[in-house]
Every structure is written in C-alpha cells, then in structure tokens.
Amino acid sequence: MSLQSGQLDNERLLARKCQQGDTEALAQLRDTCHTALLNILISRGASHTEANDLLADLWADCVPGNEERPSLLEKFSGRCTLHSWLATVATNRFIDLKRQQQRRPQVNPSREDGESTSFLARLPSPPAAEKESGLVDLLRGCLERAFSACGAEGLLMLRLVYLHGLSQRELARMWSCHESTISRVLSQAMADIEKNTMQTLRQNDAGLDLKWEDFVELCQTQEIGFI
C-alpha cells in the first residue's frame, strides 16, 4: 500500500466517524484543517470575517443532524484528499456568497478594507437548483476559452500524449522532426493554456485570487478534464 493510498484510507475512516457524529473525530478534523482552509480562503480573496463565517458554517454542516440533514461529509467520495475536498467546498461557498452579495442591493459596494466587492459580476448567477455548479462552471469556462486560443498543432499533440498515451518519440516520427521540437511545442502549449486560463479568471473578477496550482487542484477535485 502506497503512502498516498494509506492516507486516503485514513481520511475515509475519519470522514465516516464524522458522519456518525463522533465528537473526537469532528474535533480532529477541525483542528487539522481549519487554519489551512482559512488561509486558502483569504488567499483566494475572502476577508478574514468572510472566511471565518464560511468555515463556521462548514464545520456545523459536517455535524450530522436528523435524517433530512446528514453530515456534509456524506458527499465526500474519497477520491482526493479530505483537505482538498474541503478546500473546494469552501471555495464554492465563497463564490456563492459573492454572487449573493451582487444580487443584494447595496448603497456602498465597497468592502470595509476599501476593495471592491464586484466579484464574478460579469458571470450569470446559476439557478438555485444548480447551487453547487458555480465553481465547476467557472473552472470549465476558463479552460474552454484557453483551449480555444491554443494553437491547433499544440492542442493536437497534447491530446495524442495525454488522451491516447503516445510518447514524444512517436510524435516525432509522425511529424518527421526531433523529439526536442515536440517537447518545445508541448511546453509552449501548456504555458499558453496556463497563461490564458489565468487571464480569463482575472478578467471575470480579480477577487478570486487563485494561483495556477490552486486552479489545477480544484479541477482535479471536481474531476474536470484538461484535454
């Protein structure tokens, strides 16, 4: 059993205990993840108050209630780390919060720290039935625009490598060129996708301050394919 596999098994066990209302497990989960999640939300544009309020609700939702209100952790599939999954849930709730603020009439749209609250103002608000899809729509939209701007040759090579499992040597034979040429095209295509994705994200609103590594992690936890 690999280290990662063992970690996921331990986290699935912890999640099950939390789902059952084990107070020690719930306390362990909060103590382990709270500070890291707080810092993630703040780094992604939340104020300290917003981050604390969102996490207070998150931890409350992890505690099981009656049959109509099971623990939030019932939705945890165990296919990624518990920390990554919680970070995604918290980020999605942050997006929902900002969209709610945009729909709410405001006399002064500025935050207490002087920064604009115009977060995702140019994105359409999702219907209530699609409450959990806001983050997925945002991630997918940024990727689709980035791929549409990617050169056809580079995109084709990426598909052949990552979808069909071809090696760079095989691509070099197909294109009748050196492997180093294939490597440069692939590297440039990935760099262009990263650049265009982050540009689109900032154009939507700079309030969500994601780094590329954060974006990739969120795509993985939401099972959004890149190619």
Give the tens place of pLDDT for each residue, 55-83: 999 999 999 987 778 999 999 988 788 99
Rounded distance, CA 180 to CA 168, Å? 9
- Domain 127-227 coded CATH 2.40.10: no
Fold category of 1-105+113-119 in CATH? Rna Polymerase Sigma Factor; Chain: A (1.10.1740)
For the ranges 33-37, 108-112, 190-194, which has the lowest average pLDDT? 108-112
From start to end of 25-168, where are the E strands?
none
Rounded distance, CA 50 to CA 38, Å? 10
Comparison of pLDDT for 160 and 99, the residue scoring more: 160
pLDDT bin (cut points 50, 70, 90) of residue 16 is very high
With 0-12 CB in 10 A as exposed, 13-18 as middle and 19+ as buried, what is 78?
middle
Per CATH, 1-105+113-119 and 127-227 having the same topology is answered: no
pLDDT of residue 131 exceeding 80, the answer is no
Domain spans in the chain, listed from the N-terminal domain onward: 1-105+113-119, 127-227
Q: How far is CA 158 from CA 123, 195, 196, in A?
A: 29, 16, 16
